[in-house]
Amino acid sequence: MCTYKDFMNCKPKSFHGTEGVVSLTQWIEKTESVFQISFYPEECKVRFAACTFADAALTWWNGHVNTMGIDAANSMQWEELKRMLEEEYCPREEIHKLEQELWTLTMKGSEINAYTARFNDLAVMCPALVTQNTRRSSDISGV
């Protein structure tokens, strides 16, 4: 049985709606890891995840709840909530900026840890670019 108390004991991240694309992605990843670890059934996911919304994200969610009704909102599939969040908090212009940053990312001095961390953040948001580059590298090396 999935309980809200069990969910909160896993310390899910709050999402405020002002943190940007990378933070939304990290919130989704953390929330999904909590779901996987605790084997939450689909019918609990949206209800529990919505409890981590705060500030602007909570206002956004409450607007949807008022339009849809609480029962419809809570019975939504997790994938649908993720799609809605991405539409709201991942505008195409911001994704395009991140893609440009990934294409032009360079290491400053010997700050390899900072470079690697930023590359990983950008790779999460621009998987097609990384996948494409990985394929090209594989093609070149013959692997």
pLDDT in tens, 69-100: 999 999 999 999 999 998 898 777 777 787 78
The helix/strand/coil state of 55 is: helix
pLDDT of residue 110: 85
pLDDT of residue 79: 95
Question: What is the Rg, in whole angstroms, of the alpha carbon atoms belonging to the chain?
Answer: 18
Q: Which of 68, 60, 57, 61 is nearest to 24 (CA)?
A: 57
In whole angstroms, what is the distance from residue 98 CA to residue 91 CA?
Answer: 11
In whole angstroms, what is the distance from residue 105 CA to residue 24 CA?
Answer: 21
Please report where in the chains the tokens 């709201």 appear, as a residue. 88
44 contacts 1 by C-beta, under 8 angstroms: no
Angle, vertex CA 81, rays to CA 14 and CA 24, nearest 5: 40
Instruction: State if pTM tops 0.75.
Output: no
